[in-house]
Amino acid sequence: MDSEAGQRPSPHPASFSGDTPGHESQWQRTFASLAVRNFRLFAASQLLSNTGAWMQRVAQDWLVFSLTNSPTDVGITTAMQFLPMLAFGLYGGVIADRYPKRQLLIVTQSIACLLAGALAILALTDHVTVWQVWLIALILGFDTVVDNPARQIFVNEMVGPKYLRNAIALNSSIFQIGGLIGPAISGVMITAIGGGWAFAVNTATYVPVILALVLVDSRRLLPAARVAASSRQLREGLHYVRRHPVLLWPIILGGFVGMFGLNMPILLSAYAKNVLHGGAGSYGLLNSMVALGSLLGSLRSATRSGTRLRSIVGSAAAFGALEAAAPLSPTPIVFCLLLVAIGAAAVTFLTIANACVQTSAADQLRGRVMSVYLLVLIGGTPVGGPIAGLLTSHLGVRLTMFLCGVVPAVAALVVGALIARRSNLALRVRVQLSMPPTRFGIVERVRERE
């Protein structure tokens, strides 16, 4: 029901129809943020868009690998797409703080649509070369510099603090559903009719996203006050992060996970061809296993409340340990099962860390804080991508994957120890049979009474 004239309508319904306040079911808690119309509209369009984006990601990596037969070139492709975030990521947060997020997203999504269309035309006409793929990936990277922080903050504006953590988890679930469906469709499409059609489908999926952004009810948004232009904005955001440990530690861990753990496409493309001796279908299957685990992990995260540093440390450690264990798998089935576990641990870390950073940052600084987080998380990929490609070429994919898992696991343990030392906490490790298999916790050390 609309609010009275002159009043701003609330984005939050009191409850789902028929609910008893305080007695929501597990299903209702999992999908609580979808009660907000704007987010429901946005989420539906993102499901299509993310499926198309995953299709393009798989087709793009396989296209480069097919053209050059080089894991290093696949790593360079990844670097081209994420290098702008490393160099200019902080400026994306400044822009997101200064301008309306919805208008920014309409522009960035339109640019991404044009780039996907250009890649589709080049691939379908058999005129595509590696340098063209790299150039399109680089331009898309610059587009992402603004799109990523604006998208993160726009979710907050749609649902507000009440449903923020749930919305982040569902947004991650939607992304992973696309990751579950997209690679499988892309693998079949590459084999049957060629990868160019995967780029064409991705181009079409941007249309509902742009339409949804146009249809969003701006009266029900909760935008933070825009920040006036200032030469000190970048420095202010960095100092703010440094002074707040609840922001600093998740960002540091995000850097290790981003640099060493988010280069799975490079590793899985080599694993599919060199270990499994398969083609695009095998590569798509491996990506789908990771996405399946990510989907399960994100749905589980949607039912949780609160964000704790111990959960962030534990999920990062579990992710690294599982990735290190995966290349030791005796059979492909065990490897696929571990990929599911890796996906669950990864998305648990990303969901909790994202929610912690967003909810802990001041409204007027959220764009810059998120840009620092995304810079470290995503900006590490262009550094880690070529390294992973080179190590795979010289050491083999199994040893490279093992090393890429060990580094974030050790980093998580070190961060956990530092938090414990500075806060008089004790590190506890508990092993259980349920997913995730290992749970790391930081608990308060009990002081003896005098």
Q: What angle do CA 344, 268, 65 make, to 5 degrees?
A: 145
The one-letter amino acid at 73: D
| Residue 298, helix vs strand vs coil | helix
> Residue 398 and residue 392: Cα distance in Å, rounded?
8
Q: What does the block give as tokens for 69?
A: 């037969």
Q: Are 26 and 303 in contact (CB under 8 A)?
A: yes
Q: Specify the DSSP class assigned to residue 364.
A: G
**Long-range Cβ contacts of 235-239 (<8 Å, 24+ apart):** 236/365, 236/368, 237/90, 237/93, 237/94, 237/365, 237/368, 237/369, 237/371, 237/372, 238/90, 238/372
Q: Specify the DSSP class assigned to residue 230.
A: -
Q: How far is CA 438 from the centre of its chain?
A: 22
In 3D space, the residue among 290, 313, 339 whose CA is nearest the CA of residue 413 turns out to be 313
Q: At what angle do helices 71-98 and 366-379 cross, to 10 degrees?
A: 180
- Estimate the share of the chain in helix, then strand, then coil, as percent rounded to the nearest 5: 80, 5, 20
In order of their start, the domains of the chain are 32-218+232-444 (1.20.1250.20)
Q: At what angle do helices 37-68 and 196-215 cross, to 10 degrees?
A: 160
Q: What does the block give as tokens for 177?
A: 């559903």
Q: What does the block give as tokens for 252?
A: 């540091």
End-to-end CA gap in the chain: 61
At 192-209, the pLDDT tens digits run 888 889 999 999 999 999
> Residue 136 and residue 374: Cα distance in Å, rounded?
21
Q: Specify the DSSP class assigned to residue 351.
A: H
At 349-379, the pLDDT tens digits run 888 887 788 778 777 777 778 888 877 887 6
> Residue 439 and residue 315: Cα distance in Å, rounded?
8
pLDDT of residue 434: 45
The one-letter amino acid at 258: G
Q: What does the block give as tokens for 382?
A: 């262009």
Q: Would you call 421 exposed, middle or buried from its count of C-beta atoms within 10 A (0-12, 13-18, 19+)?
A: exposed
Low-confidence stretches of the chain (pLDDT < 50) are 1-7, 14-21, 425-427, 429, 431-450
- HSE-up of residue 176 (Cα within 13 Å, Cβ side): 28
Q: What does the block give as tokens for 450?
A: 């005098």
Q: Which residues, at least 6 apart from 130, have a Cβ–Cβ distance to it below 8 Å? A: 64, 67, 68, 73
DSSP line for 162-185: GGHHHHHHHHHHHHHHHHHHHHHH
pLDDT of residue 414: 92
> Residue 183 and residue 141: Cα distance in Å, rounded?
21
Rg (CA), the chain: 22
User: What residues form DSSP beta bridges with 442?
Assistant: 427
In 3D space, the residue among 422, 425, 418, 420 whose CA is nearest the CA of residue 447 turns out to be 425
